[in-house]
Amino acid sequence: MTERFTGSFTQQDPIPEAGIAAALAVLRHGRLHRYNTAPDELSETALLEQEFAATVGAKYCLAVASGGYAMGTALRALGVGPGDRVLSNAFTLAPVPGAIASVGATPVFVGVTEGLTIDLDDLAAKLDQARVLLLSHMRGHICDMDRLMAMCDAAGVQVVEDCAHTMGAAWHGVPSGRHGVIGCYSCQTYKHVNSGEGGFLVTDDPHLAAKSVMLSGSYMLFERHLAAPPPEAFADLKYTTPNISGRMDNLRAAILRPQVADLATQCARWNERYYALEAGLRNTPGLHIVERHEKETIVGSSIQFLLLDWAADRVVEVIDRCKARGVELKWFGAPEPVAFTSRYDSWRYAPSAPMAASDRILAGVVDMRVPLTFSLEDCALIARIIRSEVSAVYQLTAVAE
């Protein structure tokens, strides 16, 4: 009998009961705007910021409307503006070049390695083209952050980390988002905490924190923050910083607080699933496992493997055959962007020269989401299905040649 998987690749866990209860309390009192507080009340949003700052060990935290908004705010706070160039990953998702374009700047794309991290040699060659790197830890793959930071520090390039896929992850024990000058996170449904939409910006720099708070639309209510710098940091900024509204609200914050408290447990559950999948895929002929660095503390909320140097029609055949058995794989090599997958050459508002070495890797990247609603048995079954279909197509190819 041919095995089939019948679960959903897009169904996340429900919101924890504590989050539902807290959300109902906010709905009942009606004070959803973060600065709408009763006397002596601390808003859910301000408390969430304090708790997230503690979770990642940052001095300051600002909760905002989305991860993309956090990145745009980070760039604005650093003074990036029209005509500037910003280094970023060729392998990432659309909100990243979008954040750069949102401030009128232009991305300079840096290539990707077989480990699916930014190519540090390519970065070294391009470091003189910009003064900011928006580094995307795409799909949770973290590059050698010690080397990257040493290179960027030496070149005077400031690093903003896009941690949409690395909330809860770390490099050499340092939480992802805490190497660069600013870290940005997403709370969108498909990330590691879920409020539908939402994001965080963290930093230890009081000037950047104050500027971000003003940018997010704090009016003159910045003293109601619990994870922002003291009023002195706002002294001049409050007159010179435009309000570009993108605040978090108390309803989303209420939903998020119990999830932030539970992040480590959830990350461990993701990793059990990730390693079950990885074990099931190992030693499949023609399939290249993306090995994780020993200094990386991962959060396996998605898994990637490479069908390196496969003909495009063979990759499509694998994807189609897996789909017929209920396993939804995404392919970064498709000529047309589909759903969430697009590539640096799909972003035609930011033209760039082709990168042959990266194109070879992107042409082989197959990607799969790992929602926590999968059981470990589901993961073993999914791995068996992928393994059998990859093997079948690989053998056909070998025979044909």
Please give the residue ranges that form the binding site for ligand PLP (CB under 6 A): 66-68, 92-93, 95-96, 136, 138, 162, 164-165, 186, 188, 199
**285 phi and psi angles, rounded to 5 deg:** -60, 130
- Residue 109 pairs with which residues in a beta bridge? 88
Q: What is the dihedral of CA 307, 309, 314, 318, to 10 degrees?
A: 0
CB-side neighbour CA atoms (13 Å) of 273: 22
Residue nearest to ligand PLP (CB): 67
Quote the least distance from Cβ 268 to ligand PLP, whole Å: 22
Q: Is 232 exposed, middle or buried (0-12, 13-18, 19+ CB in 10 A)?
A: exposed
SS3 content of the chain, % helix, strand, coil (to 5): 45, 15, 40
Quote the least distance from Cβ 224 to ligand PLP, whole Å: 24
Quote the least distance from Cβ 396 to ligand PLP, whole Å: 34
By beta-carbon proximity to ligand PLP, the closer residue of 93 and 334 is: 93
Q: Which of 227, 204, 201 is nearest to 215 (CA)?
A: 201
Quote the least distance from Cβ 89 to ligand PLP, whole Å: 9
Quote the least distance from Cβ 203 to ligand PLP, whole Å: 17
Amino acid at 85: R
| 160 close to 184: Cβ distance less than 8 angstroms | yes
Strands (E), 191-343: 199-203, 288-289, 296-297, 302-306, 330-331
Residues shown for the chain: 401
| 330 close to 338: Cβ distance less than 8 angstroms | yes
Quote the least distance from Cβ 118 to ligand PLP, whole Å: 13
Phi/psi-derived region of residue 111, left when phi > 0, alpha when psi is between -120 and 50, beta in every other case: beta
By beta-carbon proximity to ligand PLP, the closer residue of 43 and 92 is: 92
By beta-carbon proximity to ligand PLP, the closer residue of 164 and 276 is: 164
Quote the least distance from Cβ 95 to ligand PLP, whole Å: 4
What burial letters (b/e) apply to 287-300, b meaning 16+ CB within 10 Å? bbebebeeebbbbb
By beta-carbon proximity to ligand PLP, the closer residue of 145 and 385 is: 145
In the sheet that holds 330-331, the strands lie side by side as 288-289, 302-306, 365-369, 330-331
Quote the least distance from Cβ 325 to ligand PLP, whole Å: 27
By beta-carbon proximity to ligand PLP, the closer residue of 45 and 136 is: 136
